[in-house]
Amino acid sequence: MRRTQGNWSIWVAAVAGAVAADLGFALRQLWLEPRAHNGDLVWWLDLPLGAVPYGLLMLALCVPALAAARMGPPPWAFVVRPGRFVAPPALWLRVISVEAAVAAWGMVPVIMLSWRIVAPGDSLRVPGVTGVLLALAATVIAWRVRRRTVTLTPEGLTVREVWDTEITQPWDQAASELVADPRSLRWIDARFLTRVVDHYWADPTHRAAIGTAEEHQRLTELLGPRTPSVTRTRSVTRPVPAPWIDDAACCPPSGCLEVLAL
């Protein structure tokens, strides 16, 4: 794969961005907030100085995600796992969700320390519980984003969204329309994903090899960006009632057959 999900430079930048965001938040809460509370800062300096740490926080959170988004178009390749091919979520979406979760946990002690400085006699239960709940919510969102995948197995196709229940279809019933949206925010080219689904739907010969490096190489060579698109067609038969049969009645087995192209 030309660009892998384990791009360490992006993930290192994400962790560094989360740490920088925590430092900016700590600067605001532990240095500026107590001085503003005690009246040590003039009023017209409170707002601009207070906005700087939050600006640094947002910048630190967004830069790694923007760097991941600018890595170019999604690859024409899957992540190969034993027994399956996986189309993972978009890299920038994973980066910003993980970064926000890491930053949220780092902000919990900052919130508690700032509360202790500003209100030394008050209990830390409310700010502590609030911070932990926010961090837990960010962690759950990051975990749910990771499950937004399309998985191909020898048995069929499974589409998972962030909050929706998963959709599993056997190959004989697999619909490429489920994965055809180019705005699906997955780290794979939507055209390649659609071609692969149509290929396995039409040809069961290689389904058993799904999840092997050899089969993945065959797919990229056969259905890569230089391969012209293939129209998905199939024929099914259904009985057509004779003209003397009521339309509402069930068609007899001896009725004519009409071939439909879907």
pLDDT tens digit sequence for 67-96: 766 666 778 899 999 999 999 988 888 888
Under a CB-based contact definition with an 8 Å cutoff, are residues 253 and 259 in contact? no
The span from the CA of 240 to the CA of 247, in Å, is 10
Count of CB atoms situated within 10 Å of the CB of 126: 10
User: Nearest to residue 67, comparing CAs of 111, 99, 44, 40?
Assistant: 99
Both tokens assigned to 131: 């911070």
pLDDT at residue 234, rounded to an integer = 47
pLDDT band per the 50, 70, 90 thresholds, residue 2: very low
Instruction: State mean pLDDT over 24-53.
Output: 68
229 has which bridge partners?
none
Confidence at 28, pLDDT banded by 50, 70, 90:
confident
In this prediction, residue 236 has a pLDDT band, given cuts at 50, 70 and 90, of very low
DSSP state letter for 188: S
The more confidently predicted of residues 244 and 193 is 193
For residues 74 and 92, what is the distance between their CA atoms, to the nearest angstrom?
Answer: 11
Report the 10 Å Cβ neighbour count for 33. 19
% of the chain residues with pLDDT over 90: 24
Which runs of consecutive H residues, i.e. helices, occur in 86-168? 91-118, 125-146
pLDDT at 12 over 70: yes
* pLDDT digits 0-9 by tens, 142-183: 998 888 889 999 999 998 888 777 889 999 888 777 787 766
Q: Given the DSSP bridges, would you call strands 256-261 and 167-170 parallel, antiparallel or unpaired?
A: unpaired
15 has pLDDT over 50: yes
At residue 25, the pLDDT reads 79
**Average pLDDT, stretch 47-70?**
68
pLDDT at 239: 41
- Other CB atoms within 10 Å distance of the CB of residue 197: 23
Are the C-beta atoms of residues 177 and 79 closer than 8 Å to each other?
A: no
**213: pLDDT strictly greater than 90:** yes
To the question of pTM greater than 0.85 for the whole model, the response is no
Say whether pLDDT at 52 is over 70.
Answer: no
